[in-house]
Structure 1
Amino acid sequence: MPTNKQQHLDNRPEGEAVASNFKLVTSETPALKDNEVLVRHHYLSLDPYMRGRMNDSKSYAQPQPLGQVMQGGTAGEVVESRHPKFAVGDKVVGFGGWQEYSVVDASQPGMLRKVDTTHVPLSYYLGAVGMPGVTAWYGLVKIIAPKSGDTLVVSAASGAVGSAFGALAKARGCRVVGIAGGPDKCKYVTDELGFDACIDYRQHPDAKSMSQALKEACPNGIDGYFENVGGYILDAVLSRMNAFGRIALCGMIAGYDGQPLPMTNPSILLISRLKIEGFIVSEHMEVWPEALQELGGLAASGKLRPRESIAQGIESAPEAFLGLLKGRNFGKQLVKLI
């Protein structure tokens, strides 16, 4: 059996996460039992939610255990199988974690899913046509529920979730405005993703300035907002929401290092009769087939053209992850192992 390099969570961060929170470990892959499959990972997914799980605190998911493989999505191929429905060479996605190989009990529902790479690249199944894409779909379709002509805003617009949100919203006839960091990301959001406008938050570093930029980009107000960031950006968006607007609360990356994110003027929620709903996409597995079908079609047709930031090798995972938390990535952050 092959040797397997893994990244473990060695200790919990105190404030900002650092590379020394992780430890590179080498182990042997065990022999397969009945119904098990050995997967060689081609790509590891790095996602902002992982930062919250590094803390030993109350959250929607159990903390990442110390001394074990960092958990996360993976895409790869079957290299050995003792399960009748999986053959050597099958391309699959799963939750194999930060390691080169994983042994998966394929008899457990949802542990491993075969994917077709004829028209959609394997890596897309960890981003646009995977969990981030379904996250965008659920927030848009089930919470914001837009009508054609609505004005929608999404923060972190150039990332894996934001880019999928834009394609899905444009397909429904909406005006879509993104918020992203830096001129290159904003240019990509408008020129390649087809957003109607994009606001560079680095040019608008406080709620007053951001609110004015939103007023110019959204002259008819904001009907729906997909939130990935929190902090002053949320304050600014709230000040521009139309009555009966809807907010899908997906992430609060501005507060992932543990500091609280106070809301400056929560009375707006009442004054504008806003609906705000937080959600975790893994709790809504019933929508995944419908969402993935639409996302796959958009990707195959070129209407969804996601960017990817790709780090090379298992050793690069911690630094790539820390860069993601600081917005250094451009699009979906992956680690390529093969």
Structure 2
Amino acid sequence: MATHTQILFVNRPKPGKLDPSFVFKSVSKPRPKASDLKDGEILVKNLYLSFDAAMRAWMGELKTYRDPLQIGQVMEGRSASIVLASKHSAHKPGDRIVGSFDWQQYTIVQPDNPKYGLESVPDGVSLKDVQYVAGMTALTAYFGLIDVGGASKGKVVVVSGAAGATGSMVGQIAKCLGCRVIGIAGGPDKCKMLVDQLGFDAAIDYKVDRREFTKRVNEVIGRRGYDVYFDNTGGMILEVLMNRMALRGRIVVCGSISAYEGTQDPRFALATGNLIPTRGRIEGFLVTDYIDRFPQALTHIVSWYKDGKIKPLQTTVPG
């Protein structure tokens, strides 16, 4: 009997850096076959699986914007895949698709079931690049920056977690809009990459002591302050940035990596006093709030990608 690999979620991560050997387990299971298909189903081969920062929140015990993962289940996630067999009128073998097909080599999918979030891969986008260019992190960056943050030409945009999937896309979209872009990342190599490869105007290394980080923030952002801060980290970085907001500036709360990893200083308390004189706004959001506008956003992002204005930033690990 032919088998395939599934990745199970077997332990909730401990505070600190995630240990894959503790959290996940690889198992062999009978492989789904074309003969197993029922009417309205397709068989897909999953080629590229996404691993996004938000997944860390799913692994905890508490409900966030969704229910937590259950111990022993197949790890959830989106995949760039190819259709191998079909009993669905809208799909044929060879079609390139993305969807929530979980961490396994093969999946039987019901395309009409919204839980899979199935989408066709846009023409001109490779399967390798589609998770970055047209995935949930790209859509999160787009709507958070433009709809929540109100970014537009000439504004100053700061983004933390800038070397990650969402943060790097935020910065590149902001450049496409004509903004001045400042990225915050960990270490000189990442900061150099943001400027040299992705075209950020400046980058700030947060892996220094707080006094030095604050000094650097003040120097780079300048007296006027920023118009939009896209926050992926929370913690100390957010606390420092609260004090550099321009008049009617906005803070877009997307993630809290410092809390996911258990590294947030327990003494941290958000000082909101600066919101009053600046008439500032701090707002969280979920990308699923904009699901009816996904096609519109993808049209813009894919166009920028084809024009060479957005460069995929991803790490591919053979599995």
TM-score over 0.5 for the pair: yes
Q: Do the aligned residues in 1 keep the contact of 2:58 with 2:68 (CA within 8 Å)?
A: yes
Aligned mates of 1:8, 1:240 — CA distance in 2: 44
CA 1:282–1:192 in 2, change beyond 3 Å: closer, same or farther?
same
Instruction: Work out whether 1:269 is the aligned partner of 2:275.
Output: yes
Counterpart in 2 of 1:26? 28
Aligned mates of 2:66, 2:209 — CA distance in 1: 32
Counterpart in 2 of 1:183? 188
Counterpart in 1 of 2:50? 45
Q: SS at the partner of 1:309? A: coil
Aligned mates of 2:13, 2:281 — CA distance in 1: 34
> Which of 160, 177, 194 is equivalent to 2:199?
194
> Which of 154, 164, 170 is equivalent to 2:175?
170
Q: Do the aligned residues in 1 keep the contact of 2:146 with 2:152 (CA within 8 Å)?
A: no
Counterpart in 1 of 2:64? 59
Q: Which has the higher contact order (CA 8 A, sep 6+)?
A: 1
Aligned mates of 1:205, 1:4 — CA distance in 2: 48
Which letter does structure 1 place at the counterpart of 2:9? L
Gaps of 5+ in 2: none
Which letter does structure 1 place at the counterpart of 2:153? S
Query: Quick one: percent identity of the two aligned structures?
Result: 40
Which letter does structure 2 place at the counterpart of 1:22? F
Q: Do the aligned residues in 1 keep the contact of 2:160 with 2:231 (CA within 8 Å)?
A: yes
Q: What's the TM-score, normalizing by structure 2?
A: 0.92
Q: Do the aligned residues in 1 keep the contact of 2:176 with 2:304 (CA within 8 Å)?
A: no
Q: SS at the partner of 1:287? A: helix
Q: Do the aligned residues in 2 keep the contact of 1:39 with 1:76 (CA within 8 Å)?
A: yes
Instruction: Work out whether 1:211 is the aligned partner of 2:217.
Output: no
Aligned mates of 1:146, 1:113 — CA distance in 2: 27
Alignment deviations for residues 53-84 of structure 1 (CA, whole Å, 9 cap, x no partner): 11111311111121111101100100111111
Deviation of 1:87 (Å): 0.6
Aligned mates of 1:55, 1:88 — CA distance in 2: 38
Which letter does structure 1 place at the counterpart of 2:219? E
CA 1:131–1:2 in 2, change beyond 3 Å: closer, same or farther?
farther
Deviation of 1:2 (Å): 4.7
Q: SS at the partner of 1:267? A: coil
Q: What's the TM-score, normalizing by structure 1?
A: 0.87
Which letter does structure 2 place at the counterpart of 1:240? R
Q: SS at the partner of 2:317? A: strand
Aligned mates of 2:237, 2:279 — CA distance in 1: 19
Aligned mates of 1:133, 1:116 — CA distance in 2: 14
> Which of 222, 230, 236 is equivalent to 1:226?
230
> Which of 257, 261, 268 is equivalent to 2:261?
257
Q: How does 1:120-131 map to 2 (within 5 A)?
A: 120-131=125-136
Q: SS at the partner of 1:67? A: coil
Counterpart in 2 of 1:77? 82
Q: Do the aligned residues in 2 keep the contact of 1:34 with 1:82 (CA within 8 Å)?
A: yes
The alignment of Structure 1 onto Structure 2 pairs a total of residues equal to: 310
Instruction: Work out whether 1:242 is the aligned partner of 2:211.
Output: no
Q: Do the aligned residues in 2 keep the contact of 1:211 with 1:240 (CA within 8 Å)?
A: no
> Which of 276, 286, 294 is equivalent to 1:280?
286
| Aligned alpha-carbon RMSD (Å) | 1.8
Which letter does structure 1 place at the counterpart of 2:6? Q
Q: How does 1:126-141 map to 2 (within 5 A)?
A: 126-141=131-146
Aligned mates of 2:13, 2:136 — CA distance in 1: 26
Deviation of 1:199 (Å): 0.8
Q: Do the aligned residues in 2 keep the contact of 1:227 with 1:248 (CA within 8 Å)?
A: yes
Q: SS at the partner of 1:312? A: coil
Deviation of 1:218 (Å): 1.4
Aligned mates of 2:121, 2:153 — CA distance in 1: 32
Deviation of 1:283 (Å): 3.0
- Runs of 4+ in structure 1 deviating by more than 4 angstroms, as ranges, are 258-261
Residue range with higher mean Cα deviation, 11-20 or 60-69: 11-20
Which letter does structure 2 place at the counterpart of 1:175? R
Q: Do the aligned residues in 2 keep the contact of 1:128 with 1:161 (CA within 8 Å)?
A: no
Deviation of 1:264 (Å): 4.5
Q: SS at the partner of 1:87? A: coil
Q: Do the aligned residues in 1 keep the contact of 2:181 with 2:200 (CA within 8 Å)?
A: yes
Instruction: Work out whether 1:307 is the aligned partner of 2:313.
Output: yes
Q: SS at the partner of 1:65? A: coil
